[in-house]
Structure 1
């Protein structure tokens, strides 16, 4: 359904030009323009000196972004921060600068340019373009990997607290965060429910940067190294899979879920934290993420029925879907 204020022809043209705005946003983020406006408005010429850019070119990029509500421009050609561009400041609470740099890097941009081939063949072009599957490429390319992990942390830090507080963990003695990264989500679970003990489970090199100790939670949380494709720690009451299953094919997801099913304590549950695409044609962030997955990874965003089928194959039953203030939902499964 189109907006009543946008002519259908203009809608199509605007969507076609969308990548230009993304490129301009990435440029402003990479140059750190917002950081140089923290003390007040500046001209493009002054900003160009600050960030090491061509003044005329920078002006044209900022003019476009100002028209979209990112930055503002006054009558004298000075640019200032807006609530949107505040989030591009590196040190701003909830900064999204790293997220923008992640979302606009070539691991997503280049395969999306080959989307027609992907739709025709059912196989994405990532390995053809980069020579390796997605996560293998990140492991072998330090710069791309760092940009990706910083960006994911940036996105996750915004959503971890609200999601953790959307679920009642009080009935859990122990929670395992499977592939939990540096522990951002598990930290929020432990903060919200003081009776819970946690296990942060991930690869050793990931756990090296875990934030559990820095948050003073070492006595309540164990770091366990391993590979969720092989096994997960046993005996917990809840196994959290946050932004994990959407990266993988159905067959791989069923294997991961089976590991959790075999490991969990009696009466335990699996909590999948991913988008749940609703029926209908209304806008939903999961639909955008789903096409990103289609272009770059073997995974997908799923509907409630998709999750129901995955769980059934793993010996689990979908018990409920819990919405959260974030774009993600908590899909709970229990043993059959």
Structure 2
């Protein structure tokens, strides 16, 4: 075999490899939808005690047996579930993360990503790129968060996914709240973050500011966590004012939902509410200034859904400075999440 022939074979193999990788990317939405359906049916939870035949899984979930078999067979092809015997499936390490009862569960995220109202705006991505604005409102007639207010089921799915976000659990572990007495979580959803802080720091009194539609769910969550007696629930619109007296204010996964002008209003209202010795903590997925980036896919999601944006550390520092804050330090929390601490500028 000549060197030229060997080189041609290598080039052909590389081209085939690239084409296969690209095909997988092109059809990735199919995998996402299949994962969503399996999670929504509760299949991973049904397999927690071991392999089960497809006819049993179909009876319990109310699915068509053949349709369910074809779904699980397809997912086994991407290492989610494994067919241990004909038409009998078991969990794989990936599928185990789709159980709803395990630490680090991605079940709620899988359920969220398959919701019609969550993925449909991606079909109008071209419009979002042309206009630089959200395409959610043209499709559904209201802003994303207004839609959640009007649809309790959708709001519940969204809040569960947020509560499971790794960044929220990490804040209480990585940041020292021992000097804090009153901590205000602005737009804190059902209270996963403030509950984690109160659970670790018994001297802290919490304040959760949210829309009225979210607060009842927050009350139940905080009561189940055993910290409701140390947390005030305050109905608030952070675009109007921040009605909380605290020494520490937290904005966790809030600013990325909004464009720069809206984010400036939120930060400015925090500054107005804050004493001169207060501090603000901004928790976000921070984009690198350059180089290989994965976060920008999330940035596109924020664009089409809400018209917001993911930002670099410098961009967050500029936002903070414009609202009257000085950045004091940045803590990296893993998976591109960072905690940016700021204090009132002198």
User: Fold match, TM over 0.5?
Assistant: yes
Aligned to 1:139: 149
Aligned to 1:315: 324
Pairwise CA distance, 1:283: 4.1
Aligned with residue 221 of structure 1, among 231, 238, 249? 231
Aligned to 2:53: 43
Q: Which ranges in structure 2 are unaligned for 5 or more consecutive residues?
A: 1-13
Residue 243 in 1 paired to residue 253 in 2? yes
Matches within 5 A, 1:33-72: 33-72=43-82
Aligned residues: 330
Aligned with residue 130 of structure 1, among 140, 158, 177? 140
Q: 1:240 to 1:118 in 2, by over 3 A?
A: same
Pairwise CA distance, 1:240: 0.1
Aligned with residue 201 of structure 2, among 188, 193, 197? 193
Give deviations 1:275-301, integer Å, cap 9, x for gaps: 1111333243x3221110111112111
TM-score, L = length of structure 2: 0.88
Q: Which ranges in structure 1 are unaligned for 5 or more consecutive residues?
A: none
SS of the residue aligned with 1:132? coil
Aligned to 1:172: 180
Q: Would the aligned equivalents of 2:287 and 2:336 in 1 still touch at CA under 8 Å?
A: no
Higher helix share: 2
Pairwise CA distance, 1:234: 4.3
Pairwise CA distance, 1:44: 2.6
Q: Would the aligned equivalents of 1:162 and 1:325 in 2 still touch at CA under 8 Å?
A: no
Residue 330 in 1 paired to residue 346 in 2? no
Aligned with residue 288 of structure 1, among 289, 292, 297? 297
TM-score, L = length of structure 1: 0.91
Residue 115 in 1 paired to residue 125 in 2? yes
Pairwise CA distance, 1:47: 2.2
Give the greater-gyration-radius structure (CA): 2
Aligned to 2:212: 204
State the alpha-carbon separation in 2 of the partners of residues 255 and 6 from structure 1. 51
Which deviates more from structure 2 when the two are superposed, residues 68-77 or residues 263-272? 68-77
RMSD of Structure 2 on Structure 1 (CA): 2.1
